Amino acid sequence: MYAPLEVIYALNWVLRRKFRQLVQQKFDSDVDGYEALHKWSVENLGLFWSVCWDFVGMIGEKNSAALENEKDMVGSCFFPRSYVNLAENCLRPSKNTVACIFNGEGHASRTITRHELRGMVSILQQAFVAKGIQKGDRVCGVTANTPETIAVMLALASLGAIWSSVSPDFGASGVVERFEQVSPKMIFLADGYYVKGKWMGEEVATTAREIVHLLGFDNDLDKVVVLPFKRSGAKRTRLPYQTLRAFLGGFKPRRVEYAKTAFNDPVFIMFSSGTTGKPKCIVHKHGCLLQLMKEHQLHCDIRPGDKAFYYTTTAWMMWQWLTTMLASEATILLYDGNPFCPNPAVLPKLCKKHGVKFFGVSAKYIDALRKSLERDPKLFSQLNMDQVRMISSTGSPLVPENYDFLYRHWPHICVSSISGGTDIISTFMLGNPDGVVRRGQIQCRGLGMAVEVWDDSGRPARPGATGELVCTKPFPSQPWGFWGDDANKTKYREAYFNSEFGPNVWYHGDFCALYAEGGLAVFGRSDATLNPGGVRIGTADIYKVVEHMPEITEALCCGVSRSGDVIIALFVVLHAGVTLDNDLRAKIRREIQKSCTRHHVPGIIEQVTDIPRTKNGKIVELAVREVLHHRKVRNVSALANPQVLKEFEKFAI
């Protein structure tokens, strides 16, 4: 669809080449080139992951069997008689002495060494033991992205307990409908957070009281601990629960003890967005760390001593993805706050200040940064990213125009769009630092990931043709299951293995294309795919056209059923001073038809003031579709801005 913009990197990057050489020499396999290495990795799954364990340096007890029941994805088991503790790996001794650097709205920069982090974890571990927390217990947090939150998570992991978290901007109902499903023994609460410079202390206090009451902790307030976020010297929010200092008591740092946790023992419970029903409680294992270390080292070029950043909250899987870079001896940069406050240069300035090599953000952030530069070209002087080796983008498809934008300004950087999900706490497709970046494409399928794109007949789609993203063989970061599911894992099977492709194929629900060179493109969620006149269309095709138009800041499209067919409805947010009239409607239709096809042209185009989105910033097409059809939107609490749905009611059919 697009003329290729190819960039080859002359990086001083040898790690995967060493891995490839290891495979060639040890197993006499011809794996010259990435696609050959990928093919070997999925044809020799157990062997690949066993070699990977050694190569990335995972600490643990690896016994003989690497994979059992390979032919049964649900019943398969990686390293069934092996042991690994996620916390032990993240707290490993390292010549890189700095663990993390914290920044946030209302905060000065704060550096935590690995020695200090181990001390924090040790004290927390002792405090948890004193409270009776043990292996398998659940502890939940409504927490900010701070070093203290990381220390709490690692202390629990060291004991074999299970951590779940959401960010403080969640409302009480959104928190409770998640946490009540896992019956936590304790909860941690931030005392507030910042929104564009405003301290949200009183709002958080009100929400906290409701959470504590609805979760049944009114008579166990000593099991509710406040994690302070407010900067010192300023007025803090007073919550009537146990302070962190009181919880830690008089414990002193000592050697951290690590429970002997099996590779497949639970470590995290994470939650789906909940936009289509009650959030799923997805259980992930200590062994998911193997997948993450592979991604960090072999796909993201993370080296000991590197500083790495990803803009995330504690509610998103990217928080675990970032924090586990500690296991690869990186220094992680944390940021809690608005990425455009007080101006769009906040995050690039921080990365320049701290020498960040890996810079991760959402595709929406990159789009917003591009538009900020278009409005104020002088801003570019503040965006020095000369030291960055890789920019990672996720959350939604990175449109081709934003590849152009990044390479126009930073041609030395590897742009690594990645795609996976909370479901697998990792990725299906991601970067290749010594490979080619093609405009509009994710570089490659992950090593050890049998990712394919299938057509409606259940066969691999021809190169470049659209179809469904599937994974046909097991992988270590598959969920342990859903918390509260039955012994047969019925809900888990229905979620991922209940498609027309059969009970032994992971159906992810993304509408994709796999190209002959090995790159991929994601066009949106399958359940949001449009089907006008029987022609299947991904919403991303339309977004990449309209969001590049100078009049439009953001857009949402969905299908509307009418007279036995589907009409595409497009809603646009316009720049200040711009009004949607018939001339602009005609221009939008012309641009879409010129760049796509006549089938992509919306039958309905309307102006709105805002677009509904999840807490993680993803637009919610399905919620708007429900409103347009006079149907009740399920789980409104999953939205960051549910009030905007009211505006769409006037367009209902």
How many angstroms separate the most distant Cα atoms in the chain?
A: 71
**Residue range 464-488: average pLDDT?**
96
Beta strands 604-607 and 565-574 are parallel
Cβ count near 251 (within 10 Å): 15
For residue 199, the one-letter residue type is W
How many residues does this entry show for the chain? 653
| pLDDT over threshold 50, residue 4 | no
**Residue among 360, 318, 319, 365 at smallest CA distance from 345:** 365
| pLDDT over threshold 60, residue 519 | yes
Confidence label for 101 from pLDDT (cuts 50, 70 and 90): very high
Confidence label for 346 from pLDDT (cuts 50, 70 and 90): very high
**Residue among 344, 335, 431, 424 at smallest CA distance from 391:** 431
Cβ count near 144 (within 10 Å): 26
On whether the 531-651 domain is CATH 3.30.300.30, my answer is yes
% pLDDT > 90, the chain: 69
For residue 154, the one-letter residue type is L
**Residue range 505-524: average pLDDT?**
93
What would you report as the CA-atom Rg of the chain, rounded to the nearest whole angstrom? 24
| pLDDT over threshold 50, residue 8 | no
Confidence label for 429 from pLDDT (cuts 50, 70 and 90): very high
Q: Which of 350-364, 430-444, 556-570 has the lowest mean pLDDT?
A: 556-570
Three-state DSSP state, 292: helix
Average pLDDT over all residues of the chain? 91
* Distance from C-alpha of 321 to C-alpha of 310, rounded to nearest angstrom: 9
Cβ count near 73 (within 10 Å): 21
pLDDT digits 0-9 by tens, 579-593: 999 999 999 999 998
**Residue among 506, 448, 501 at smallest CA distance from 472:** 506
Report residue 235 as tokens. 């007025």
pTM: 0.87
- pLDDT at position 602 is 94
- Indicate left, alpha or beta for 300 from its phi (over 0: left) and psi (-120 to 50: alpha): alpha
| pLDDT over threshold 90, residue 259 | yes
| pLDDT over threshold 60, residue 10 | no
* Distance from C-alpha of 610 to C-alpha of 605, rounded to nearest angstrom: 14
Q: What are the phi and psi torsion angles at 95 (to 5°)?
A: -70, -25
**Residue range 513-538: average pLDDT?**
83
**Residue range 86-103: average pLDDT?**
95
- pLDDT at position 277 is 66
Query: Helices 45-56 and 15-27: crossing angle, nearest 10°?
Result: 130
Report residue 310 as tokens. 């990803």
* Distance from C-alpha of 203 to C-alpha of 188, rounded to nearest angstrom: 16
Report residue 7 as tokens. 């960039």
**Residue range 444-454: average pLDDT?**
97
pLDDT digits 0-9 by tens, 287-320: 999 999 999 999 999 999 999 999 999 999 999 9
Confidence label for 647 from pLDDT (cuts 50, 70 and 90): very high
Q: In this structure, are residues 494 and 479 in contact, taking their beta carbons and an 8 Å threshold?
A: no
Q: Which residue intervals of the chain bear CATH 3.40.50.12780?
A: 84-336
Confidence label for 12 from pLDDT (cuts 50, 70 and 90): very low
- pLDDT at position 15 is 57
Superfamily name and number for 84-336:
ANL, N-terminal domain (3.40.50.12780)
Q: Which of 60-69, 91-100, 481-490, 531-540 has the lowest mean pLDDT?
A: 531-540
Output the CA–CA distances (angstroms, integers) from residue 462 to 453, 515, 519, 521, 569, in the order listed: 9, 8, 13, 14, 30
- pLDDT at position 23 is 81
* Distance from C-alpha of 230 to C-alpha of 192, rounded to nearest angstrom: 7
pLDDT digits 0-9 by tens, 201-250: 888 999 999 999 999 999 999 999 999 886 554 556 678 899 999 999 98
Report residue 410 as tokens. 């930073």
- CB neighbours of 623 closer than 8 A, spacing ≥ 6? 275, 612, 633, 636, 639, 645
* Distance from C-alpha of 319 to C-alpha of 271, rounded to nearest angstrom: 13
| pLDDT over threshold 80, residue 94 | yes
- pLDDT at position 11 is 45
Q: Which residue intervals of the chain bear CATH 3.30.300.30?
A: 531-651
pLDDT digits 0-9 by tens, 13-49: 555 667 877 787 777 777 788 898 999 999 999 999 9
| pLDDT over threshold 60, residue 7 | no
**Residue range 379-383: average pLDDT?**
88
